[in-house]
Structure 1
């Protein structure tokens, strides 16, 4: 499993650049998939939604911009974090690209360090549970790189589902999520799990959290939230 447990789709038709990107991102602990054109990118997205896309401006079959507009027009990919890869001297185009829904852009040639920094900054902004290696909430501390959770400095054991659920709730404190939202955000959009299963995982998580179980609040008829409010 990658260090960040983050999947990045690279949409780039120049093999040399695509491999350089893969090498850079592998080295930074991300897992990557390469699509050489828009058709491959669509197929990859249909199979599994990545956490972030690096999208080349110029693709052989459809422009990167058209593909981006297509994604932004679909509910499933509307908020997908996208960084566009552009050639030098495309300032007007870059601005247009950002207006059309790109979250950031980077000009080729770029330094690997800058690319990784941009990716991490965008993940922190859009997918907070993946952008930090340590998350803290009250007495709970999560080391996302090592998959470790501790309460008041004592390590506790969580299974993968409990860990992902806790990581997500702590990254979005005080926000109420319905069971359907938690299924989508925690288990992924291709998961066929009944909403009631979320209740089972919440129950297990509370049991594992022991003294910190009260942080996980049930909002009757709505869903769940992470809160330190004792009156909630």
Structure 2
């Protein structure tokens, strides 16, 4: 009979081969006296040395670049300084000529031309800030300043008086309005009272006339003698023979 074995699994074969290689590598490291004694990884050291060289080269390149920039900056600064110096020289030649100077020159051949005019004021263009033209006790505008101070002081004094007068005027105006309103109300009340009194008097007169007419109708004319009297604000009628008196009060 023939013996038939199943074919081996490739994954298992690869795993076995990997373990064998790992064991061989471990044995080579273990049996290597130099590596075992120093306990150093040569590959790691070599990689660190390469990295150090790369960092050093990179740093040197940066320093070189900075040096180039510094040289360029120095050149630009020198050129800028040269331009400024040139402009200053041109300004001196144009604006600060010898004939335009303001300082006193003892060797001036034309003294009248070098003389300065009299002091005209604090803003005199012929005198500089160090000429001491205005001292602490001097003031060219003192009169104007005093007048302005006096005006301001008078205005500050008049302001409270004006406010007080305005307030008093407002109070008086309010009082006048109140009095006029009270007077108007009193006049209206008086007119109402007079109208009521007039109406009452009119009613009394009409009633008296009606009573008199009725009495004349009821009695003969010969027996009725009416005496009219008007004294001190009332009107009185006497009917003689009947002891009858009609009094009408008149109020004015």
Higher helix content, 1 or 2: 2
Higher strand content, 1 or 2: 1
User: With structure 2 as the length reference, what TM-score do the two structures score?
Assistant: 0.14
Larger radius of gyration: 2
